[in-house]
Amino acid sequence: MNLLEPFLTEVGRRGERLALIEGGGAQASYADLAARSERLAGAWAAEGLGPGDRAMIALPVGIGLYAAIAALWRLGAVAVFPEPALGLSGLNRAVEIAKPKALISSGWFHLLRLLPAFWSTPLKLGLGEGAPWRGIYEAAPDHPGLISFTSGSTGRPKAVSRSHGFLAAQNACVADLLRAEEPSRDLVGFPVFVIANLMLGNASILPDWSPRRPELLAPERLAARIRATGAERALLPPVLCGKLAEGGGHPGLRAVFTGGGPVWPDILQAMAERLPGVEATAVYGSTEAEPIAHLRGAQIAPEDWAAMRSGGGLLAGGPVPQIRLRLEEGEILVTGDHVNQGYLGGEGEAETKIRRAGEIWHRTGDSGRLDDQGRLWLLGRRGGEAAGLKPFAVEAAARFWPGVTAAALVDLEGRAVLALAGDAEQAPLWRREAARLGPLEVRPLARIPVDRRHGSKTDLKALRRML
């Protein structure tokens, strides 16, 4: 059940329909992408790459990247993606765990071949093309297709291996969210979701900004990209949704999907007020289980807004039907066909996996609660409490206060400290509001540091150093 089969069987019907638009403007149809993958597969097979071989991918987000993934799956090989946000240490960690047979690179990424980590890698491959390889490897459901890595925010990065069966289940789940009545043109800020879009026949517009620092993207540039490409929908991290709302003028979208970090209620509220007619959907998940739950902005009732303002936490919506979710001591546990069962080398499984009645449940590390409608409310990371206060309960409420642009709760030597960025002249009001939530020490800051992955989560280590 090679994941490439749904794509290839539809190529003939889709033919010249647009598949990808690069940041620089280059385009590829479905037929173009399929043909290029054939020629890449032919070149790599001639070099000795075959079923089960792992290939580290060091390519920019563009047409070549997705042609390379398709070529690897034609051969039954495994695509390995290091986490770019982790830099050189993350790359070394990925090589250490995955032990790739090949490095696939282009442009200045060829310089990676000089790193000691790759000295013993047998094959150094580029995007040179060979005789077309029109076959497709008949993969068993458990045959690995892709290896990615966790962010390492709570420890050493772990390698998540996704089989073709796992990826098919995940794509089916994502398809329920992304499927449109007619083929859509989507600006996709999450590279992995381009794969799901290709299976659905949508056109994916790739970012023309650095994926490592999305928070630095100017709102005007984001809006201009949408208008210039005719994007109808967008899949973006929360930080860019905030920029959409402040960008000035309606970019012409009809829908936005966001996740990869907390989707704060003030962001959804700003989008509803400033981008009328745009349906916003917040998706909750993790590297090991994506998606877990989702919430459409229009589904948030007045009483839900009131609960988030008063410390009730962050509403994530109903769990997707393909997943089973339970709470144990307040922690969110999930299982299902698109929930990762373990890690390469087994590192981290003792802490994150629970075996019960022949099933493996994944511990997300997030705390939450279920309301009487069965909807999930997020309360923040387990262990992130301060003076008994839950992080998201405090942070979601604080982001509604006048002048606040970002909020983060931390425990400093037993004290609950609420760091707030924004208009510091409002600090007296912030302290009065904070007193209603609990014993909080308010610290105004010029900025609150964020993660390098999506620019949407607080970098707690950096914040503690600042405080």
Please report which confidence band the pLDDT of residue 83 belongs to, taking 50, 70 and 90 as the band edges.
confident
Handedness of CA 380, 384, 385, 391 (dihedral sign): negative
Region of residue 358 (left: phi > 0; alpha: psi -120 to 50; beta: else)? left
Give the Cα separation of 304 and 314 in Å (integer): 9
Q: How many secondary structure helices (H) and strands (E) does the chain include?
A: 14, 23
pLDDT, position 166: 92
Q: Does residue 186 sit in helix, strand or coil?
A: strand
* Rounded mean pLDDT, 193-203: 89
Give the Cα separation of 423 and 443 in Å (integer): 12
Please report which confidence band the pLDDT of residue 12 belongs to, taking 50, 70 and 90 as the band edges.
low
Q: Does residue 330 sit in helix, strand or coil?
A: coil
* Rounded mean pLDDT, 383-402: 96
Region of residue 180 (left: phi > 0; alpha: psi -120 to 50; beta: else)? beta
pLDDT in tens, 104-127: 999 999 999 999 999 999 999 999
Cα dihedral 242, 247, 253, 256 in deg (nearest 10): -10
Q: Strand 123-125's sheet: what is its strand order?
A: 123-125, 102-105, 54-58, 78-80, 144-149, 159-163
pLDDT, position 178: 87
DSSP state of 318: E
* Rounded mean pLDDT, 212-237: 90
Please, what is the average pLDDT of the chain? 91
pLDDT in tens, 15-67: 788 999 998 889 999 999 999 999 999 999 999 999 999 999 999 999 999 99
**Residue 372 burial (CB count, 10 A):** 5
pLDDT in tens, 178-193: 888 888 999 999 888 8
Q: Which helix or strand (DSSP H or E) is residue 191 part of?
A: helix 191-200
End-to-end, the C-alpha distance of the chain in Å comes to 52
| pLDDT of 266 over the 90 cut | yes
* Rounded mean pLDDT, 114-142: 94
pLDDT, position 107: 92
What values do phi and psi take at 169, rounded to 5?
-65, -40
Question: DSSP string covering 386-415, please?
Answer: BTTB-HHHHHHHHTTSTTEEEEEEEEETTE
* Rounded mean pLDDT, 437-448: 95
Handedness of CA 339, 161, 209, 87 (dihedral sign): positive
Please report which confidence band the pLDDT of residue 464 belongs to, taking 50, 70 and 90 as the band edges.
very high
Two tokens, residue 408: 């983060």
* Rounded mean pLDDT, 75-100: 87
Q: Does residue 187 sit in helix, strand or coil?
A: strand
| pLDDT of 87 over the 90 cut | no
| pLDDT of 298 over the 90 cut | yes
Q: Does residue 281 sit in helix, strand or coil?
A: strand
pLDDT, position 450: 86
* Rounded mean pLDDT, 223-232: 93
pLDDT, position 175: 86
| pLDDT of 153 over the 60 cut | no
Domains of the chain (ranges; CATH) run 4-162 (3.40.50.980), 392-467 (3.30.300.30)
**Percent of the chain at pLDDT above 90?**
75
pLDDT, position 317: 97
In 71-211 the beta strands, taken as DSSP E runs, fall at 78-80, 102-105, 123-125, 144-149, 159-163, 185-188, 203-205
460 neighbors 450 (Cβ within 8 angstroms): no
pLDDT, position 93: 87
pLDDT, position 280: 95
Q: How many CA atoms lie within 13 A of 395 on its CB side?
A: 28
Please report which confidence band the pLDDT of residue 150 belongs to, taking 50, 70 and 90 as the band edges.
confident
Give the Cα separation of 157 and 347 in Å (integer): 10
Q: Which residue has the higher pLDDT, 246 or 306?
A: 306
